Amino acid sequence: MEMMSMKTLNTSALVTADSPKGQRATETFRAQYNKAELNDESAQILNEHPGFAVYLAEGIRRFSAKAPDYGLAQSILGADFITPEEVTKARPSIVYTNEQITALAESLPSEDVLKWCKDNGYAVIPAPPTAMSLLDVREIQSAHFYSKTGGRYSDQKFAREDKTSFGWLAIKKTPVSNSTRKTWNEQNKLLSALEKVPNAAEMSWFITTYFEVRGIRLFEGIYVRTSSLDSGGDRVLVGRFDSDGLDVNRYWDDDRHDFVGLSAARK
């Protein structure tokens, strides 16, 4: 019987810690280690922590992987398309796994959808890697919220249970056209069959992440209704995102105000 030949691994092509590129990475680690200014006890805890080596290995895999090609989306939407890499850079506590990066690349909206988003004033950004509530989003950077801690919604069910879902978020950067001075029911009639109303967690993630990455405040002078409801049945609003932070408020569905519009997301 003919023996199958086995492929030999070209180990000479592998980069090790002793290679020039490996030495550069090692120097980066050395600099950050020194910057941490650990005392003897902290250094010992780090050395003995079973998760530290796993964390390092995941970081090496994560940041050495070639980024997906988002050229088409960027050419259509420009600054209104935000990549997972941009989110991670702006928000270091947010980390997508290699599998999630691949999943996002494979589920990127089609060219037709991207063009629709462009034509309708939408931005497309990745949702968090894990489901997040409004309170979870606030915890990332509480300075971006008017109520840094506590607040009237901290004990509300919607603030804990209405969450983001993994994938791409396509959300309109302004209130739905002509949606102010209208009731909730009147506002919903302005949505197309392709649109829905996002919840408070999705809107707070979208607004604060867009600001972190692009430095632009959306909904700075206006509130928008979300799909979330408080315990009294009032509609939850987000907006007025000025230097004091994003405000979370509520009004009855039948209220009409000049400063209350409707939020919209692509289905």
The Cα–Cα gap between 94 and 127 comes to: 10
Q: What does 204-225 look like in DSSP terms, one character per residue?
A: HHHHHHHHHHH---SSSS-EEE
pLDDT score recorded for residue 66: 58
pLDDT score recorded for residue 49: 82
Whether the predicted pLDDT of 55 surpasses 90: no
Query: pLDDT exceeding 70 applies to what percent of the chain?
Result: 90
Q: Which residue's structure tokens are 């599998």?
A: 99
Mean pLDDT for the chain?
Answer: 90
pLDDT score recorded for residue 4: 32
Position with higher pLDDT, 53 vs 129: 129
Q: 63: which residues sit within 8 A by CB, 6+ positions away?
A: none
Q: Long-range contacts of range 183-190, CB-CB < 8 Å, 24 or more positions apart?
A: 183/253, 183/254, 183/255, 183/256, 184/225, 184/235, 184/253, 184/254, 185/253, 187/225, 187/261, 187/262, 188/262, 190/262
Query: Domain residue spans in the chain?
Result: 17-64, 71-266
Whether the predicted pLDDT of 8 surpasses 60: no
pLDDT score recorded for residue 158: 98
Q: Which of 8-22, 101-115, 187-201 has the weakest average pLDDT?
A: 8-22
Whether the predicted pLDDT of 2 surpasses 50: no
**Tens-digit pLDDT profile for residues 224-236:** 999 999 999 999 9
Q: Which two tokens stand for residue 143?
A: 């300075």
pLDDT score recorded for residue 61: 61
Phi first, then psi: what are they for 27, rounded to 5°?
Answer: -65, -35
Q: Which of 25-39, 82-96, 237-251 has the weakest average pLDDT?
A: 25-39
> Average pLDDT for residues 21-40, to the nearest whole number?
80
Position with higher pLDDT, 65 vs 117: 117
Split at pLDDT 50, 70, 90, the class of 9 is very low
Position with higher pLDDT, 13 vs 176: 176
The Cα–Cα gap between 245 and 59 comes to: 32
Position with higher pLDDT, 157 vs 5: 157
The Cα–Cα gap between 262 and 143 comes to: 25
Query: pLDDT exceeding 90 applies to what percent of the chain?
Result: 74
Whether the predicted pLDDT of 32 surpasses 70: yes
